[in-house]
Structure 1
Amino acid sequence: MTQNSLDPGDQIPAARRIQAQTLTPEAFAPYGHVARPGLGDVKAIRNDRVHLSKSETAFSHQPDAKEVKLDFYEVAPETHQLVASVIERHNLSSQMFSPMNAARWLVVIWPDGPARAPLAFVAGPQDVVTYAPGLWHHGIAAIDRPACFTSLMWKKGDIAVDTEFLTLDRAWGIGWPDGGPEGLSA
């Protein structure tokens, strides 16, 4: 169990619990970008043995963030529900997460700021998610099984500037539908 996992006996008030919805590019569009195979400009190449999907994505950054960095996250799965107590944002850059070996995973954001309720989405193994610069979000969270992700982000090289962390006054409980990735659209 990870430090963010909630035992069934622990309590978060009902008013501080939300249920994650299935991630769609349309639902997430105001907060960033979702790319997946089959979206964008799709064509067959190499004698129809490869299908190429060219996805437009905004991967913006401020001029101070001059170095693009590739990070790898090996993530233990959450159990029962995610307890969101620490959130983060990156004011100088978008941040892109690409699953390398994952089932379902959570995308939890605070589009109206940390004083308001979050939105939560269940992403699938085919979903690449890019957070807009300055968007408050929870760190990467796997469900169903351990997962591995890559992250791309422009950085200045100063952790205090590249990533801002905030401990919430009160935690949020994030739940998700039972079942595996089969129910997610591809």
Structure 2
Amino acid sequence: MKTLHVERLTRAAFAPFGDVIELDGARHFPINGGTTERYHDLANVDVTEHGGRPLINLFRAQPRALPIEITMMERHPLGSQAFIPLTARRYLVVVAPAGELDPALMRAFWSDGWQGVNYAKGVWHHPLLALDQVSDFVVVDRGGEQPNCDELSLAEPWRLLFEASVEMAE
């Protein structure tokens, strides 16, 4: 079985696949008479191709038991898809570049739960991988008449490999 090392989710590391949605380093300014801080333009929502429209959903992810094996990937060729956690619960992200799926180019990241992700249009990714407990996410993606989800099974499974510090960071 092949292994995939899980790395810390950062803006720089995730940039080839989309946006990391987090407050740290975001442009922000006061609004509403100084009673609110606005963190501005955190992700590029790209859903209007072929008459698409933005959808706002809530996904409730069941926790996955370790070890985790990756056996499939999916992509949304007509729009981006953003996952914004509602609580600080750890979760994993597995991605591969847009285009023809090449499992050798997959990367895995872990989030402490206060970071969201916005997959760019066509980027391959695994469905939600919540850890520890049930986790809720606001999901912004594309609605429209055309099919917008491609799924592929991998020829062989990939096991996620954690550094000891990642497994212990709860």
TM tier, smaller: 0.7 to 0.9
Structure 1 unmatched ranges of 5 or more: 1-12, 182-186
CA distance in 2, matches of 1:66, 1:95: 13
Do the aligned partners of 1:65 and 1:92 also contact (CA within 8 Å) in 2? no
Paired residues in the alignment total 165
Q: Once the 2 structures are TM-superposed, how far is the Cα of residue 49 of structure 1 from its aligned partner?
A: 5.3
- Cα distance in 2 for residues equivalent to 1:62 and 1:29: 21
Q: Aligned pair 1:131/2:123, yes or no?
A: no
Deviations 1:85-127 (A, max 9, x none): 1210000000000101341111100127234241000012211
Out of 41, 46, 50, the residue aligned to residue 64 of structure 1 is 50
Is it true that 1:180 corresponds to 2:169 in the alignment?
yes
Q: Which residue of 2 aligns with 1:168?
A: 154
Percent sequence identity over matched residues?
Answer: 24
Q: Report the residue type matching 1:91 in the other structure.
A: P
DSSP-derived class of the 1:64 partner: helix
Distance 1:110 1:125 in 2: 21
Equivalent residue of 1:116, what SS?
Answer: helix
TM-score, with normalisation over the residues of structure 1? 0.79
Amino acid of the structure 2 residue aligned with 1:120: A
Q: Deviations over 1:25-77 (max 9, x none)?
A: 11111110012113322234567654332134211135214222222221121
Q: Name the amino acid aligned to 2:142.
A: W
> Which ranges in structure 2 are unaligned for 5 or more consecutive residues?
none
Counterpart secondary structure, 1:125:
coil
Q: Conserved in 1, the CA contact under 8 Å of 2:82 and 2:139?
A: yes
- The alignment's C-alpha RMSD in Å is 2.1
Contact 1:65 1:154 in 2 (8 A): no
Asked if 1 retains the 8 angstrom alpha-carbon contact of 2:87 and 2:114, the reply is no
2:21 is the alignment partner of 1:23: no
Distance in 1 separating the partners of 2:133 and 2:78? 32
Name the counterpart of 1:88.
74
Give the secondary-structure state (helix, strand or coil) at the position aligned to 1:30: helix
Are 1:140 and 2:128 matched, yes or no?
A: yes
* Cα distance between partner residues in 1 of 2:105 and 2:91: 20
Q: What are the superposed Cα offsets for residues 130-161 of structure 1, whole Å, 9 maximum, x if unpaired?
A: 00111111001111222111211113234xx2
Query: For the residues of structure 2 that align with 1:124 and 1:59, how far apart are their CA atoms?
Result: 23
